[in-house]
Amino acid sequence: MRDEPTRAGKIGSYVVLIVVSAVTVVPLLYMGALSLQTEAETLSADPVLWPQTPQFGNYTELFERAPFGHFIVNSLVVAGGITLAHLIFDPLVGYVFAKFRFPLRNTLFMALLATLMMPLFVRMIPLYVMMSNLGWLNSYQALIVPFLMDAFGIFLMRQFIQPIPDDLIQAARIDGASELRIYARVILPQVKPALAVLGLFTFVFQWNEFLWPLIATTTEQMRTIPVGLTLFNQEYFTLWHLTAAGSVILFVPTVLLFLFSQRYFVRGITLSGLK
């Protein structure tokens, strides 16, 4: 599929991509516009696309009305910590499932996937009791430890490690490399794009997690951004200008991380494209 596309095919591809990109990006630009509107403009029944005067003060208002700096730090520590843990543990377990043969492999793998099939909120209360028992409520441990690894990441890594030729592993074994060394020197370099994907998606998911931080924190200073954002709504209506400003702030780190990790996707693609 990587041969030179025909001229007509190329134009067609551009048209499709431009249309789809517009559909995905324009609503988000609208959110950016909302974040710069006055409260009156966002509350109005006649929505406007762009504010008369951009209200950059909406962003500073967030910090004045709540410990928003704390929220940002908490979110970074929690989502960052979990992402690091996933990058360490998930590929390792994924590798075992992809490249080792051992009794009960399929059963254990299914048992692993089963952990994804219970919604968090039904597990939440037992977990809450556990954290309370450990004296961990309202701490970073409580926000991080229950999510140190997950079956999503393990499954993802298994799928990407599986196609790596076994010969590579065999050759390393014959050379006398230890299993950990094989993993670190042979396997990991092969799956860099997948690791970038895993890191990005884990971070995005945890960065936006709402329910667990709502339950596991017991002071406003320990809240993460998604939970902290609920402070800005009134009882009967949404303060759109502040909610949108908060959402834009919520967006920035994930977009930055994407731009950073994107390099790895790109390299993978261009390398094979150059062939």
47 vs 57, beta carbon nearer other proteins: 47
Beta-carbon neighbour count of residue 11 at 10 Å? Answer: 11
Residue 87 or 215 with smaller CB distance to other proteins: 215
Q: Residue 9 Cβ, how far from other proteins at the closest point, in Å? A: 8
Binding residue for other proteins, selected from 226, 241, 242, 245, defined by CB under 8 A: 226
Polymer length in residues for the chain: 275
Question: Please, which residue, 56 or 116, has the CB nearer to other proteins?
Answer: 116
Nearest-5° angle of CA 256, CA 262, CA 268?
165
Q: How far is the CB of 60 from other proteins (least distance, A)?
A: 19
3-state SS assignment for residue 262: helix
CB neighbours of residue 161 within 10 Å: 21
Q: Which residue has the tokens 């490249």?
A: 99
How far is the C-alpha of 70 from the C-alpha of 75, rounded, in Å?
8
Burial profile 19-43: b = 16 or more Cβ within 10 angstroms, e = fewer: eeeeeeeeeeeeeebbbbbbeebbe
User: Rule CB under 8 A: is residue 69 a binding residue for other proteins?
Assistant: no
> Which residues inside 98-117 make contact with other proteins, applying CB under 8 A?
98-104, 106, 108, 110-117
* Residues of this chain, 152-191, that bind other proteins according to CB under 8 A: 152, 154-156, 159-160, 162-163, 165-167, 169-170, 179
User: By CB under 8 A, what part of segment 245-274 binds other proteins?
Assistant: 247, 250-251, 254-255, 258-259, 262, 265-266, 268-269, 272-273
Pair of tokens at residue 122: 């039904």
Residue 130 touches other proteins, criterion: CB under 8 A: yes
Interaction mask 2-41, other proteins, x per CB under 8 A: xxxx---xx--xx-xx--xx-xxx-xx-xx--x----xx-
